[in-house]
Structure 1
Amino acid sequence: MYRPNTTWTWAFLLTSLLQAIVALALEAYIFARFQLSLKKNANILPQSRTIPTYLSVFMFGYIYQMVLVYDALRLKNTIQVIGLCIYNLGILVYASIQIDQINDAVMVLQENGLISIEFWGEIKPFLIVEPCLMAFGTILMSFVAWKLYDEFAWTIYKHISADLRLKRRYLTYQIYIAMLKFDFFFFLGFTVQFLVVVGNTTDAEFYLTIAAVPITILLLVLAAYWTRKENIIGMIAIIVIYFAALAYFLFKLVRMYGSDKSRVNDYLPARRSLTTFAVITIALLLVTIIVACQCTHNFNKGLKPHLARRKVPDLDEQKYTTEMPAIAGPVPNRMTID
């Protein structure tokens, strides 16, 4: 089991953990108040499902973040640590949008007499506190990540001697693997909200969307595997699938704001949240495609053996690192990010 062994790794872990605990407690309280405030037959309106869905996605986001934090520190992965700060910023945006989305849903439920009048006044302060917490947490995590950047880079520099070109290829590989981990959350967040909130979906589209979740997990695992094995055919297939996913999310955006008013109204209860997730996912997919192409371009250039034996033996400080083992030969110069 991994145990942080420096001040800054402990600081990053504890900052992330404290933020997650407070955020989960706030979301759990809002969730409980909502369930207790709902009136009988409230499930006839989609707004009764939107609030639990927002809160569930938010809570899963922080549980998933803690998994990635542990993973990044265990592997001493600088790229993933930086990515977690950006991820936290994305959660901040979601927490801010959540305020208006929940207010809109509560207003509709109140107009139909399906929720107590006092509910919004009770939870509003907690909804405002959340993005403030996220903003403070993002600033603090970014500062600690900066310190970790220097720490991890120096640790690796002391123990690894590598050709600069190989280290650049390895950096590209690390970025790609980190992107896959973040892609998963935003795709899943969009899919869950679409399945639960959006009405009048055809059976075919509904079941295909459900099937897409396990298929996506499998494809992301294969994407990482084929990159490590330098399988060109597999990577080409994955890149084609990325373009198909990109087209899917662009199609959803067009449908949410298109001329078909009936479909626009179906998306309306969760449109802002779905738009946020769709835009972030599209941006991530674009970056993922670019980095995947760079990884494929780097195949058969000497990186594969070092990906196959990532751990540096007999060095406690690097027992869990994913950085490249030492390579015999001179060091032309040092990279900025290791």
Structure 2
Amino acid sequence: MATLQCVLIIVLQTVICSQNTLQADLLPHSGSDNALITDSIQTSIPEQAADRLGRIKWENIAFIGFQVWFLGMAFDATVYQNTAEILALAILNVICAILGALEVVDGNKWLNLLKNTGYSTMPLSVAEKIEIALSVMIMLFAVILAYLSYEMSRQFGWNIYKKIGADVQIQKMYRMFQFFVLSLKIDVFTGFLVSLFSVCYLIHVAIKQGLMWESVIELIVTVLILPMLYFARTAGSVESKVRMIIFLIFQVLEFVHYCLILTETFQPSNNWYTWIVLIFIGLAFNVITSVLAFMCMRNFGKGLKPYVQRGSTKQKQDVEMNKSKVQQDWQIDDD
């Protein structure tokens, strides 16, 4: 179902993106770098619409990226039986459906405004119809995948109980580690996407104004985000406090990085709310990931390590644990 959703939504979003681009090409562009923060008296509606449709194009691309990330997360959650991850995917899919509905509202707003001008609105009209179909489709998939996620989480819960046993303390630490891993994976999308878009914008500005120190920091953080997220996952697996502290220091640097982006974003009357919300989501998960990393680090050395391995290490650990269980099951008491 996740694969089917990914394919269908990517196709529809690609068509919507192309139609929005065609509509933007039919409209006059303002001489200002940002028509949306210019006084509406000085800037005409077609110029504002051209600027907004140019931004919507990037939102469509982000939507496509989200679907690819969502598919990878669905497979990962299923293979590694991460209950927190599978339930979070169901919630994210509902949020995705809401964003799809907002996309329809935003498109309809500019369509109505442009109808009062002499410019053709055919591409935007086509995009609006596809956006409605997209919104309905996402909601349908959200309901189906929510049910499947609930059923899978019940099975995962039983499998984890059989794997870990009845030790409540170990179960609590294991759930905490699952939430930490989930937060890292969400950071792959929110943190990296926000940083990548920000760097693209800064490159555009740097071409005109020159390179600034803020640009250097944001570029360094963007390059390091994905390697550091993997670094944090391995730090949790091997229970290395030194590695986890290094990751927490990087999180502080990433927090500064988000603050710099916010100062650049908060301009007078900036109406690109989607981008602002995305920055705040990235900032929130930066804090959440840091807190979870610290809490997981406190659990190092308390018996969780055998249950959080992956790859070849996990296979060897499972073989050893199964052998131990078999020996215990067939032990004969001579008395």
CA shift for structure 1 position 326: 9.6
Q: Is the 8 Å Cα contact of residues 242 and 285 (structure 1) preserved in structure 2?
A: yes
Q: What CA distance in whole angstroms lies between the structure 1 residues aligned with 2:238 and 2:136?
A: 44
For structure 1, the 5+ residue unaligned runs are: 1-13, 258-262, 315-323, 329-338
**Alignment partner of 1:134 is 2:135:** no
Q: So what's the TM-score if we normalise by structure 1? A: 0.74
Question: 1:18 matched to which residue of 2?
Answer: 4
CA shift for structure 1 position 159: 5.1
Q: What CA distance in whole angstroms lies between the structure 1 residues aligned with 2:291 and 2:136?
A: 34
Sequence identity percentage: 18
**Alignment partner of 1:240 is 2:252:** no
Which shows bigger deviation, 38-47 or 71-80? Answer: 38-47
**Alignment partner of 1:153 is 2:157:** yes
**Alignment partner of 1:77 is 2:82:** yes
CA shift for structure 1 position 196: 4.6
For structure 2, the 5+ residue unaligned runs are: 35-50, 326-335
Other structure's SS at 1:310 match: helix
Other structure's SS at 2:79 match: helix
Question: 1:51 matched to which residue of 2?
Answer: 56
Question: 1:31 matched to which residue of 2?
Answer: 17
Q: Is the 8 Å Cα contact of residues 97 and 272 (structure 1) preserved in structure 2?
A: no
Change (3 A) 1:95 1:105: same
Q: What CA distance in whole angstroms lies between the structure 2 residues aligned with 1:327 and 1:146?
A: 33
Structure 2 matches for 1:189-268, cutoff 5 A?
189-196=193-200, 200=205, 203-204=211-212, 205-206=214-215, 208-253=217-262, 255-257=264-266, 263-264=267-268, 268=270
Other structure's SS at 2:314 match: coil
CA shift for structure 1 position 310: 3.2
Which shows bigger deviation, 29-38 or 143-152? Answer: 29-38
Report the residue type matching 2:279 in the other structure.
Answer: A
Change (3 A) 1:215 1:164: same
State which of 125, 128, 132 in structure 1 corresponds to 2:129.
125
**Alignment partner of 1:300 is 2:286:** no
* Greater C-alpha Rg: 2
Q: Which has the higher contact order (CA 8 A, sep 6+)?
A: 1
Change (3 A) 1:97 1:209: farther
Report the residue type matching 1:85 in the other structure.
Answer: A
Other structure's SS at 1:219 match: helix
Q: What CA distance in whole angstroms lies between the structure 2 residues aligned with 1:133 and 1:276?
A: 24
Q: What CA distance in whole angstroms lies between the structure 2 residues aligned with 1:256 and 1:188?
A: 17
CA shift for structure 1 position 177: 1.0
CA shift for structure 1 position 137: 2.4
Q: What CA distance in whole angstroms lies between the structure 2 residues aligned with 1:107 and 1:72?
A: 43
Q: What CA distance in whole angstroms lies between the structure 2 residues aligned with 1:191 and 1:95?
A: 23
Change (3 A) 1:239 1:89: farther
Change (3 A) 1:313 1:230: closer
Other structure's SS at 2:302 match: coil
Report the residue type matching 2:292 in the other structure.
Answer: V
CA shift for structure 1 position 19: 2.2
Q: What CA distance in whole angstroms lies between the structure 1 residues aligned with 2:115 and 2:252?
A: 43
Structure 2 matches for 1:158-177, cutoff 5 A?
158=162, 160-161=164-165, 163-177=167-181
CA shift for structure 1 position 295: 0.3
Which shows bigger deviation, 244-253 or 226-235? Answer: 244-253
Report the residue type matching 1:65 in the other structure.
Answer: F
Pairwise CA RMSD:
3.4
Change (3 A) 1:142 1:111: same
Q: Is the 8 Å Cα contact of residues 164 and 171 (structure 2) preserved in structure 1?
A: no
CA shift for structure 1 position 99: 4.1
Change (3 A) 1:20 1:306: closer
**Alignment partner of 1:62 is 2:63:** no
Q: What CA distance in whole angstroms lies between the structure 2 residues aligned with 1:111 and 1:243?
A: 49
Change (3 A) 1:104 1:193: farther
Q: Is the 8 Å Cα contact of residues 194 and 274 (structure 1) preserved in structure 2?
A: no
Q: Is the 8 Å Cα contact of residues 6 and 67 (structure 2) preserved in structure 1?
A: yes
